[in-house]
Amino acid sequence: MAKLTQDELLAQFEEMTLIELSEFVKAFEEKFDVTAAAAVAVAAPGAPGAPAEAVEEKDEFDVILTGAGDKKIQVIKVVRELTSLGLKEAKDLVDGTPKPVLEKVNKEAAEKAAESLKGAGASVEVK
């Protein structure tokens, strides 16, 4: 396998959605037993959506935060864990409900995220 340059890697990351990049960071952390601090914050906000691999199938779900509940700080923490957003971005997402937390994720990831958010006291909808 050819070694990619830093510029080639950055070009690949630019094409990824925030969710794809978040999943990559989690896999990278597990594989190399490291923790990435704010590496995901580099993602371009206008990145194109996921490739049209399984567009027609209903194997992609959106996790929508519909309310923060009484424990807003706990909900913000969970949102940060799920999305790797910064504190301000996570707080803005929670304050602006209803908002999607995760988009186009598989059913298991959507259910796991919904359980985490509900456990923190939020009201969640999976579409």
15 and 69 fall within a common domain: no
Give me 56's structure tokens: 């027609």
At position 119, the amino acid (one-letter code) is G
Q: Is residue 45 part of a domain?
A: no
Please name which of 42, 35, 60 lies closest in space to residue 50, comparing C-alpha atoms.
Answer: 60
Predicted pLDDT at 57: 52
Rounded CA gap, 107 and 110, in Å?
5
Predicted pLDDT at 47: 47
Predicted pLDDT at 39: 43
Q: CA of 13: how far to CAs of 18, 20, 50, 67, 78, in Å?
A: 9, 9, 12, 31, 24
Phi, psi torsion values for 84, nearest 5 degrees: 65, 25
Residues whose CB falls within 8 Å of the CB of residue 44, separated by 6 or more in sequence, listed in order: 14
Place of tokens 């957003």: 85
At position 84, the amino acid (one-letter code) is S
- Give the count of domains, the chain: 2
The stretches in the chain having pLDDT less than 50 are 38-47, 50-55
At position 52, the amino acid (one-letter code) is A
Tens-digit pLDDT profile for residues 46-82: 445 544 444 455 678 888 888 888 888 888 888 888 8
Q: Which domain holds residue 14?
A: 4-36
Residue 94 belongs to domain with CATH number: 3.30.1390.10
Q: Is residue 102 part of a domain?
A: yes
